[in-house]
């Protein structure tokens, strides 16, 4: 009888030990799961966010190829600048090089585009084709005609081997004329056409003849 009680006692102890170990393991697994879940839902620190933003900023900021002396003489300055990767219609006409960037000056935004071509024939051909399919709606722009070409203010300069356009949703024609001065005073640049339009206004056309700007008498709509 004593032996039977001893066997029962030992059996109960084994069962107790097994249950204790099982509960201990389950408790540890539960804590690990809770720890993992907490880490997954922890918000990213402000420092980490700033680090990522700084990294992106370093990638997009760059220095344009425009001569700094000409920029200074034309009083063109900016507070910040970044590469513009938007595709444009003119790129359909196979320019040999493009330069596109967005800059901010006194809180106003400006988009600069320059498409360079192999020679004057390709530059003029691209310009005329662009006028035949201008803007997102691919509208035809009749040469030397008074019309509102687009919503934003802009200036377009058709050079011997390049086309340049600066546009802005802000109606700051003074800023656009600074770019006109930059290119008209550069003796290495040969200009053909200049288009200048204020926001909400009509385009003014001018042409260069013997290095002199001549205002074109426009046809009315």
Q: Is 144 exposed, middle or buried (0-12, 13-18, 19+ CB in 10 A)?
A: middle
Task: Provide the pLDDT for residue 41.
Answer: 31
pTM more than 0.85: no
Neighbours of 182 (CB within 10 A): 20
Per-residue pLDDT of the chain (221 residues; tens, 9 = 90+): 544 444 444 445 555 455 545 554 455 454 444 443 433 433 444 434 444 444 333 344 667 889 888 899 999 999 999 999 888 889 999 999 999 999 999 989 999 999 999 999 999 999 999 999 998 788 899 888 889 999 999 999 999 999 999 999 998 899 999 999 899 887 777 888 999 999 999 999 998 877 778 887 766 55
CA distance 92 to 77: 31
Task: Provide the pLDDT for residue 208.
Answer: 80
CA distance 54 to 47: 10
160 strand-pairing partners:
none
Task: Provide the pLDDT for residue 210.
Answer: 75
Query: Where exactly are the structural domains of the chain?
Result: 64-215
Contacts of 69 (CB under 8 A, 6+ apart): none
CA distance 17 to 30: 20
Q: Which 3 state secondary structure label does DSSP give 81?
A: strand
């Amino acid at each position: 009888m004593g032996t039977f009680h001893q066997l029962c006692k030992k059996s109960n102890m084994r069962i107790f030990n097994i249950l204790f170990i099982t509960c201990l393991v389950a408790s540890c697994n539960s804590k690990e799961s809770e720890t993992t879940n907490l880490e997954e839902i922890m918000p990213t620190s402000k420092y980490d966010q700033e680090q990522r933003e700084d990294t992106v900023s370093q990638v997009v900021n760059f220095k344009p190829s425009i001569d700094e002396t000409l920029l200074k003489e034309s009083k063109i300055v900016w507070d910040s600048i970044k590469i513009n990767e938007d595709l444009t219609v003119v790129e359909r006409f196979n320019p040999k090089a493009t330069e596109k960037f967005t800059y901010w000056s006194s809180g106003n935004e400006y988009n600069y585009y320059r498409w360079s071509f192999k020679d004057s024939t390709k530059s003029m051909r691209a310009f005329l084709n662009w006028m035949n399919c201008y803007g997102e709606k691919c509208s035809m722009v009749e040469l030397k005609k008074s019309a509102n070409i687009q919503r934003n203010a802009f200036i377009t300069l058709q050079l011997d081997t390049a086309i340049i356009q600066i546009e802005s949703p802000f109606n700051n024609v003074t800023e656009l004329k600074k770019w006109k001065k930059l290119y008209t005073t550069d003796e290495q640049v040969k200009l053909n056409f200049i288009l200048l339009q204020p926001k909400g206004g009509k385009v003014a056309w001018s042409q260069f003849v013997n290095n002199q700007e001549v205002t074109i008498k426009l046809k009315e709509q």
